[in-house]
């Protein structure tokens, strides 16, 4: 694994890695809570985005901790996948709304076994 | 830097809470934009300037505009109704989230990642040594470093990503153009 230095200007009084991990954990928990208690699929999607962002923050923090670029490159790919996921998910939500005028996740249950 | 971190943390947690607690989805989306900006500030603090720019352009720009388009397209002013069939799940959901937070807190309290890198490039009170050779090109997070890695080691995943985006575009067009009876 190739290691990188922090470059100039980024080395004064750094915040510790654990602080960023704690913030990432808090944001991930908030996202999971949003997925559990909300019924609007759009808000559930936003909560999923928040969880993805919390994981991205963790990856970038560990990337700095290990002086490796791998975490940042991975965040780049996660952002791409999140964009594709949002496009497909919102298209599905719009098509559900066009067929039944109601997108409450409790009433959309026709595929339930 | 520490002051910036704490201010950003307060804003990030409050905006995250508001995303899941606001009843109007438009407000949730706007608070999510604030949350994304906080993450961009974190990326700058973490020496990931390119990712901070991408975060603002892709997430706060493109993805949230898409969200707001769909929100206004579906039914403007729509709020969740007062009677809540999921209300019996709320308490277990809060308990589950508390358990997740407790597990994460325990894991974070036990791990050895308390190291901070000082100006001389040494880890103070940490576990990860830094090699002092092979520092060619830009530093961590520079655009040149990202491009260097992306087009050499990660070239194949990068190309797969282009295929993924093409498929997502095709899928969205197919889903949008379908005729409903």
Question: pLDDT tens digits, residue range B66-83?
Answer: 999 888 888 665 666 555
User: What string of DSSP letters covers B131-148?
Assistant: --S---SS-TT-HHHHHH
CA distance A92 to chain B (A): 7
pLDDT at B132 over 60: no
Q: How confident is the model at residue B157 (pLDDT cuts 50, 70, 90)?
A: very high
C-beta atoms of A30 and B13 within 8 A: yes
Question: Is B18 in CB contact (< 8 Å) with chain A?
Answer: no
A63 chain-B contacts, CB cut-off 8 A: 46, 48, 140
Mutation pick from A16, A32, A54 vs chain B, by most beta carbons of B within 10 Å, is: A16
Provide the pLDDT for residue B111: 61
Residue pair A51/A88 in contact by the 8 Å Cβ criterion:
no
pLDDT-derived band at B105 (thresholds 50, 70, 90) equals confident
pLDDT at B95: 85
pLDDT in tens, A46-55: 999 999 999 9
Q: List all residues 6 or more positions away from A69 whose beta carbon is below 8 Å from its beta carbon.
A: A2, A4, A63, B140, B141, B145, B146, B149
Exposure on the CB side of residue B145, measured as CA atoms within 13 A: 26
Cβ–Cβ contact B156 with A under 8 A = no
> Residue A33: which of B97, B146, B175 has the nearest Cβ?
B97
- pLDDT score of B94: 81
Per cent of chain A over pLDDT 90 is 38
Closest Cβ–Cβ partner in B46, B114, B121 for A61: B46
Residue A10 clears pLDDT 50, i.e. is over it: no
Angstroms from A96 CA to nearest CA on chain B: 10
* pLDDT for the residue B7: 92
Q: Is residue B103 pLDDT above 70, yes or no? A: yes
Classify domain A17-100 by CATH number: 1.10.287.3510
- Mean pLDDT, residues B158-173 taken together: 93
**Domain boundaries along the sequence of chain A:** 17-100
Contact A105, B181 (CB under 8 A): no
CB contact under 8 A, B175 and A94: yes
CB of B138 within 8 Å of any CB in chain A? yes
Inter-chain CB proximity B97 and A18 less than 8 Å: no
**pLDDT at A109 > cutoff 60:** yes
pLDDT class of B135 with cuts at 50, 70, 90: very low
Q: Per-residue pLDDT for B122 more than 70?
A: no
Angle (nearest 5°) at CA A67 between B127 and A72? 125
- Note the pLDDT of residue B109: 72
The DSSP result for A30-71, as a single string, is: HHHHHHHH---HHHHHHHHHHHHHHHHHHHHHHHHHHT-SHH
**Contact between A11 and B19 using a beta-carbon 8 Å cutoff:** no
- Check if A95 contacts B (Cβ < 8 Å): yes
Residue B57 pLDDT more than 90? yes
**Percentage with pLDDT > 70 across chain B:** 73
């Amino acid at each position: 694994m190739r290691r990188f230095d922090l470059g100039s200007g980024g080395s004064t009084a750094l915040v510790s890695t654990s602080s960023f991990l704690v913030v990432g954990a808090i944001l991930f928990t908030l996202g999971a809570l949003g997925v559990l208690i909300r019924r609007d699929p759009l808000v559930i999607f936003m909560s999923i985005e928040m969880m993805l962002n919390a994981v991205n923050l963790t990856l970038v923090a560990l990337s700095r901790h290990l002086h490796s670029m791998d975490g940042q490159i991975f965040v780049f790919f996660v952002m791409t996948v999140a964009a594709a996921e949002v496009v497909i998910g919102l298209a599905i939500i719009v098509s559900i709304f066009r067929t039944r005028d109601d997108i409450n996740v409790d009433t959309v249950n026709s595929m339930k076994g | 830097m520490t002051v910036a971190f704490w201010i950003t943390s307060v804003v990030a947690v409050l905006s995250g809470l508001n995303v899941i607690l606001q009843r109007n989805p438009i407000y949730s989306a706007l608070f999510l934009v604030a949350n994304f900006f906080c993450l961009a500030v974190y990326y700058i603090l973490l020496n990931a300037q390119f990712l901070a720019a991408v975060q603002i352009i892709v997430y706060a720009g493109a993805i949230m505009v898409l969200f707001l388009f769909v929100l206004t397209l579906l039914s403007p002013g729509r709020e969740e109704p007062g009677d809540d069939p999921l209300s019996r799940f709320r308490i277990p959901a809060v308990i589950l989230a508390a358990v997740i937070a407790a597990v994460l807190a325990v894991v974070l309290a036990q791990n050895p990642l308390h190291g901070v890198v000082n100006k001389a490039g040494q880890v103070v009170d940490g576990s990860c040594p830094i090699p002092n050779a092979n520092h060619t090109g830009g530093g961590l997070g520079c655009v040149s470093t990202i491009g260097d890695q992306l087009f050499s080691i990660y070239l194949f995943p990068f190309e797969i990503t282009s295929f993924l985006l093409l498929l997502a575009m095709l899928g969205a067009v197919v889903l949008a153009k379908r005729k409903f009876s």
